[in-house]
Amino acid sequence: MNIADKIAELKRRKNAVILAHYYTRPEVQEVADFTGDSLALSQQAAATKADIIVFAGVYFMAETAKILSPRKKVLIPDPEAGCSLAASCPTVEFAAFRAKHPEATVVSYVNTTAEIKALTDICCTSTNALDVIKSIPENQPIIFAPDRNLGAYLQKQTGRENMILWNGACHVHEEFSLEGIMALKKQYPDAPILAHPECKEPVLMVADFVGSTSAILKEAGRNPAKTFIVVTEPGILHEMKKDYPDKTFIPAPPLDSTCACNDCAYMKLVTLDKILKTLETESPEVTVPESIRAAAEKSIRNMLSLNC
């Protein structure tokens, strides 16, 4: 039996489900029951009937699954799979920041720890961030955390001046080379540039389309172009090539051409060997203290109930 078959067999026997993010390794996406972006994965985690959720992704995603499904066993193949964006928003500093603006509604991107979600009024993902901001009355001040690039993009899109931004970022999305992207555009003038809103403003300004991973996927299908320049973590190319085999997707280059800095090293920590071991041993398990979980759940449910 090969490793994928062993995983499938254990999954069946233990009534487990594997949820994988688009940034994980292709072979990991292939053994998953469901592959998606942050929003779709949290919706799946809330709805699944499985007894065990194996989260093939980073820690905050597995934590979100546990917050939404506290009675289920949530396993993460590698607990070291962190997130530079979540790490850029430490709890003590954020609590102090929030205390300085007690009148503000706190909107946090799901790329945060459970503690930050517990200090949040409503979560968002890159798919629904614009709708979440629009759901808040025009004159209401908003704290937006932790991604400064997504925050600035939302501010620009909505024209809202009363947004107070936390100064965090994702190292993967900040490492794209504008020069390199423009050189590609010269080479492929008809190729639309599709960018994730966690990228820096100059990159977003030259993009033909800005959206979450699932929005980028949809745009690649909707747009009649045959070639695309993709400015997000290149793991998404696996699904893009599968969905649109007659189209060509070119990953945007990093600032430093000698490194694979646009690969999310955390997502790539998840391997088939680790998934198999996790299923065999039913560990490592993700836990969240109940007092934090209950408060964090409210902010995630507030997002999910908007249905956007």
Measured in whole angstroms, how far is the alpha carbon of residue 262 from the centre of its chain? 14
Least distance from C-beta 215 to ligand SF4, angstroms? 15
Question: Which C-beta is closer to ligand SF4: that of 67 or that of 169?
Answer: 169
DSSP 118-139: HT-SEEE-TTTHHHHHHTS-TT
Q: Which does 266 bind (CB under 5 to 8 A by kind): ligand SF4, ligand 13P, none?
A: ligand SF4
Q: Which does 37 bind (CB under 5 to 8 A by kind): ligand SF4, ligand 13P, none?
A: ligand 13P
How many of the other CB atoms lie within 10 Å of CB of 94?
23
**Among 151-159, 223-231, 240-248, 260-268, the segment contacting ligand SF4 (CB under 6 A):** 260-268
- Contact string (CB under 6 A) for ligand SF4, positions 210-249, x = contact: -----------------------x----------------
283: left (phi over 0), alpha (psi -120 to 50) or beta: beta
209 strand-pairing partners: 194
**Among 12-20, 83-91, 93-101, 271-279, the segment contacting ligand SF4 (CB under 6 A):** 83-91
Exposed, middle or buried: residue 245 (CB in 10 Å: 0-12, 13-18, 19+)?
exposed
SS3 of 77, please? coil
Least distance from C-beta 118 to ligand 13P, angstroms? 20
Q: Do 45 and 110 form a contact (C-beta atoms < 8 A)?
A: no
Among 39, 107, 267, 296, binds ligand SF4 (CB under 6 A): 267
Q: Which does 142 bind (CB under 5 to 8 A by kind): ligand SF4, ligand 13P, none?
A: none
Among 29, 42, 84, 212, binds ligand SF4 (CB under 6 A): 84
Q: For residue 147, give every residue at least 6 positions away whose Cβ sits within 8 Å of its Cβ, in sequence order, or none.
A: 85, 109, 111, 166, 168, 169, 170, 197, 198
Q: For residue 280, give every residue at least 6 positions away whose Cβ sits within 8 Å of its Cβ, in sequence order, or none.
A: 10
Binding status of residue 58 toward ligand SF4 by CB under 6 A: yes
Least distance from C-beta 23 to ligand SF4, angstroms? 6
Question: Which C-beta is closer to ligand 13P: that of 125 or that of 177?
Answer: 125
Least distance from C-beta 5 to ligand 13P, angstroms? 29
Question: Which C-beta is closer to ligand SF4: that of 174 or that of 297?
Answer: 174
> Which spans of this chain sit near ligand 13P (rule: CB under 6 A)?
37-38, 111, 125-127, 170, 198, 212-213
Q: Strand 34-36 vs strand 163-165: parallel, antiparallel, or unpaired?
A: unpaired
**Is the backbone peptide bond immediately before 284 cis, with ω within 30 degrees of 0?**
yes
Question: Which C-beta is closer to ligand 13P: that of 174 or that of 297?
Answer: 174
What does the block give as tokens for 75? 């396993």
Least distance from C-beta 129 to ligand 13P, angstroms? 9
Integer Cα distance of 273 and 260 in angstroms: 23
Total number of residues shown for the chain: 308
Question: Which C-beta is closer to ligand 13P: that of 127 or that of 278?
Answer: 127
Least distance from C-beta 25 to ligand SF4, angstroms? 13
How many of the other CB atoms lie within 10 Å of CB of 33?
16
Q: Which residues bind ligand SF4 (CB under 6 A)?
A: 23, 58, 83-85, 111, 170, 172, 233, 264, 266-267
